Amino acid sequence: KNLPYGKQRKLEIARALATKPKLLMLDEPAAGMNPNETKELMETIHFIRDKFDIAVLLIEHDMSLVMGICERITVIDYGRIIAEGLPEDIRTNPDVIKAYLGE
């Protein structure tokens, strides 16, 4: 209750890991975090994924966080898949650019 927001999120993830899942689902894990907390969270997710060989399903609007964590990305716009692939492919995909930046 008295923990900073970033630490609360880490505690929530630790609780989820207690069940030894094969898949960790994170819905907007960086919402409300400051940049330092977001960076720490990204490092934590990398560590968990690599150390415990756990797949991570991430739902997130912060594209820098997505690009920093994900090995494969699916972009959905208004319920429709508009792109799938590696981060470098998604970053330059015209449909993704249009959806996030407008025409």
pLDDT digits (tens, 9 = 90+) for 20-71: 999 999 999 999 899 999 999 999 999 999 999 999 999 998 888 999 999 9
Is the domain 1-67 a CATH 3.40.50.300 member?
A: yes
pLDDT value for 84: 97
**Would you say 64 and 52 are in contact if contact means Cβ atoms under 8 Å apart?**
no
SS3 (DSSP) at 27: strand
**Would you say 11 and 43 are in contact if contact means Cβ atoms under 8 Å apart?**
no
What pTM was computed for the model?
Answer: 0.80
pLDDT greater than 80 at residue 103: no
Outline which parts of the chain fall under CATH 3.40.50.300: 1-67
Separation of alpha carbons 45 and 10, rounded Å: 9
In one letter, which amino acid is 20? K
